[in-house]
Amino acid sequence: MAVSNGFFYHILAFTSCVAFIYLSFRDFKDDFKSHFLDYKPQSKFVEANGTQFVLDGKPFYVNGWNSYWLMDQAVDESTWPRVNTIFRTGTQMGLTVCRTWAFNDGTYNALQISPGRFDERVFQALDRVIAEAGRHGIRLILSLANNLDAYGGKSQYVKWAWEEGIGLSSSNDSFFFDPSIKSYFKSYVKTVLTRRNHMTGVRYKDDPTIFAWELMNEPRCTSDSTGRTLQNWIEEISKYIKSIDRNHLLTVGLEGFYGPTSPPEKLNINPGEWFSMLGADFIRNNKIPTIDFASVHVYPDSWLALADITEKENFVSKWVKSHIEDGDNILKKPVLFTEFGLSSNANGFDHSHRLLFYKSIFDTIYESAKKNGAGSGAFVWQLIVEGMEVFHDSFAFIPESIPSLHSLLKEQSCRLATLRYGSNLVRQIFKNVCE
């Protein structure tokens, strides 16, 4: 009898625990639903017209930021408030677009557990990120894959194909040419683009909150320095995406390195000769008609590790101006600097260096925008919130913790907004930002 009672109490305890977890999760979902009762999706898509982005018939400029971690942090109730906080912070600084990951392949909190198998719990987290962005008036660039291994990356796709015994090669670059892997990726892309957001009822491909899709974060194909393999992949995948979604803008996700088809004067802009042999080819890759705008990254610390601060400043000036000129004169498309940062681990680092670096990029973009040029905006890498020390990669910072950078970001937002709306209207629309 004692054994039976003990068994009964174990069952009762287990049942109570399950009920508590269920009710807690239900409350978590109910809180989200009530949170989004006032959700109103962005009404129109941003478009590209020549060298400019356009919304409601007026130029649209981007002062943006990177927080790649949004989907991951939206999965759990305890970390969800970080998503809300960063969007609120962005809005308070007048920022317009956030770039983040819409992928996590085969790792912790994976969206895609294996080819074609998705974790609905994580998909719902991405739903919430998109809905929360829309609630704050923020648009998103959603990146669909990673060249690097973090969050799975192209290496995870290669591993899946290899384990299934259908992979052509164990090289990570087979991601770009193996038919089976390309089939995996197309299936993934279609699932994401046609996803119906459980919070808003809007399919991703129909949601103007999404500013653009990005094919891959920093694609490289070092096994083919001619650039043909990566070029073929960009052409094929961008055409496939446009066959599903013609509403959204599309970019490659390039770092901006000039490749083998570029003229000598452009190759000399690269931070070193080696950078022309990574399989990427900035001008050629972005000439593709299914690519709507060019992306560029700016990392003088990583690319010019032995250079002093003056050399880095000179490089940044040439790099940014050169790519804007490409947008103006060759591509006839907008150019976004979708990542830029200065590492706090650099020798002799001082916050004043970061301030000068940011200001140099912002000033160049503003001067281009004033002339209706291709320089359409930039995204700082990266912003975090309190309690996210584990995400601190030597580039990350909490805006409020560095008043000079916080003010600079707001100032750039106001300068670009003034070009769009005029000074009088800006003070009304952004009265809490542009005082």
Question: What local confidence, expressed as pLDDT, does residue 39 receive?
Answer: 52
Kindly list the catalytic residues: 218, 339
The residue-averaged pLDDT of 280-284 equals 98
Q: What DSSP line would sit under 248-292, residue for residue?
A: SEEE--------TTS-HHHHTTSSSGGGGGSS--HHHHH-STT--
The residue-averaged pLDDT of 327-356 equals 93
Report residue 41's pLDDT band, with 50, 70 and 90 as the boundaries.
Answer: low
Residue 10's identity, in one-letter code, is H
pLDDT tens track for 285-331: 999 999 999 999 999 999 998 898 899 999 999 999 999 999 999 99
pLDDT tens track for 357-416: 999 999 999 999 999 999 999 999 999 999 998 888 999 999 999 999 999 999 999 999
Question: What local confidence, expressed as pLDDT, does residue 431 receive?
Answer: 80
In the predicted model, is pLDDT for residue 435 greater than 80?
no
Question: What local confidence, expressed as pLDDT, does residue 18 receive?
Answer: 42
Question: What local confidence, expressed as pLDDT, does residue 42 receive?
Answer: 65
E strands, 97-176, are: 97-101, 112-114, 117-118, 139-143
Question: What local confidence, expressed as pLDDT, does residue 267 receive?
Answer: 98
Asked whether the beta carbons of 22 and 11 are under 8 A apart, the reply is: no
Question: What local confidence, expressed as pLDDT, does residue 179 receive?
Answer: 98
pLDDT tens track for 157-173: 999 999 999 999 999 99
User: How would you class 188 by CB atoms within 10 Å of its CB: exposed for 0-12, middle for 13-18, buried for 19 or more?
Assistant: buried
What mean pLDDT, rounded, does the chain reach?
91
Question: What local confidence, expressed as pLDDT, does residue 1 receive?
Answer: 38
The residue-averaged pLDDT of 135-153 equals 97
In the predicted model, is pLDDT for residue 17 greater than 90?
no
